[in-house]
Amino acid sequence: MYRRFGRTLVLAGLDLRVGQGELYGLIGPNGAGKTTALRVALGLLAADAGRVRLLGRDPRSAAGGRPRRVGSVIEAPALSPRLTGREHLALIARWVSAPDAEAGRVAGLLGLGRMADRPTATWSTGMRQVLAIAAALIGPPDLLVLDEPTVGLDPGHRRRVNDLLGDHVARGGTVLLSSHQLDDAERLCTRVGLMAAGRLLQEGPPTELGSAAGRYQITVGDPEAALAALRAVRLICWRDGDDGRVLVETGPPYQVGRPDGSAIARVLADAGIYPSDLRRSPTLELAYAEVTSGLAPDPVVPAEVAR
């Protein structure tokens, strides 16, 4: 899809498909077009060119004559300041023809408690974000479209929201989210798409993106002994700094058979080496850096969008 604001081409041929039961993360720098993509997907904005389908329908179409089963949080929470949290949830429940009991259910899910009976004007930014997420869960929806849902949340609510997203997908629901929280995205998402300049540049499971895909980092007391043991079984590895850290490449095309962390631990244990730390490298972070470092070629723009 293509979308232009004035002279700025914000979406430059974004090709994105999210299947049912996926937790898809849209990652990219500020100005990459993530929020615009979500707005177009929800039908808040029309695409200048391209084809958009949401749950099999044109997202701007009124076909069906009833609210759709899509919950969303786009940018800042959209709340009436004079309504209490519970009333806001009830308003959304009525808007989507859900029973009022839904308001109580989602308030409980996010632990709003007595706070829910206070006007939202008195809520902190983080709590307003929690309320907006609770409103998105009313229905419950089949699809959640969330734009940086955990921004401004305290660690407790952030974990709770992440758990809820995982539960939603486990029950067959679908989540499309944009985020700058790469660690959350790497842990939660079944697939991520790396966006820059209005296009998708890389897409796949978060551990398989970028040049660091499948890389493990180990911290040992004697890195030279560890390197020798690993190289003896033909693993590609090297020292990373002077603090005992060793990096092991396990992803394609560097290795055949793709040994995992337990295989590496077993090789080291056989050599009498017990690492104090063994973890998968944060591949998404490196992939993100690669994408945002200007690797994207200029897009090809169709005539109806070009001006």
Partner 1 sequence: MIRAAAGWRGWRWRWGAQGRRLEVRAGYPFAGAVALRARELARRPVVVAAFAVQGAALALAELVAAVTGDDLAGAGDDLVLGGLRLVAVPGGLAVGVLVAAVVGAEFGWATERALLARDPRRLRLAGYQLAVAGVLAAAWWAAQSLLAVVVAALLEAGGGIAAGIAWAAPAHWAALAAALAATLLYGLLGAACALVLRGALAGVVALLAWGLLGELVLAPRWAPASGWTVWTSAARLTGQGTTPLPRAVLVVALAFGAVLAGCLAIYARRQVRD
Binding interface with partner 1 (CB under 8 A): 5, 39, 42-46, 59-62, 65-68, 70-72, 74-76, 78-83, 87, 90-100, 119, 132, 135, 145
Assess contact for 55 and 70: CB atoms under 8 A: yes
Relative orientation angle of helices 125-136 and 101-109, to the nearest 10 degrees: 130
Q: What share of the chain is helix, strand, coil (3-state, %, to 5)?
A: 35, 20, 45
Quote the least distance from Cβ 120 to partner 1, whole Å: 10
H/E element, 292: helix 283-292
d(CA 73, CA 167): 18
Helices then strands, each counted (H, E), the chain: 9, 12
Nearest-angstrom CA–CA distance, 154 and 142: 26
Q: In the complex, what is the shortest distance from the CB of residue 209 to partner 1, in angstroms, rounded to a whole number?
A: 29
C-alpha span between 150 and 129 (Å, rounded):
8
Three-class secondary structure of residue 51 per DSSP: coil
Helix 85-95 vs helix 101-109: angle between axes, to the nearest 10 degrees?
130
Angle between helices 125-136 and 85-95 (to 10 degrees): 30
Q: What are the backbone dihedrals phi and psi of residue 32, each rounded to the nearest 5 degrees, phi first?
A: -75, -20
If one counts every other C-beta atom within 10 angstroms of the C-beta of residue 267, the result is: 18
Alpha-carbon span 23 to 176, nearest angstrom: 6
Q: Which residues contact 224 (CB under 8 A, 6 or more apart)?
A: none
Closest CA to 107 of 97, 96, 120: 120
Check whether the bond before 140 is cis (ω within 30° of 0): yes
Structure-token match 């040049």, residue found: 211
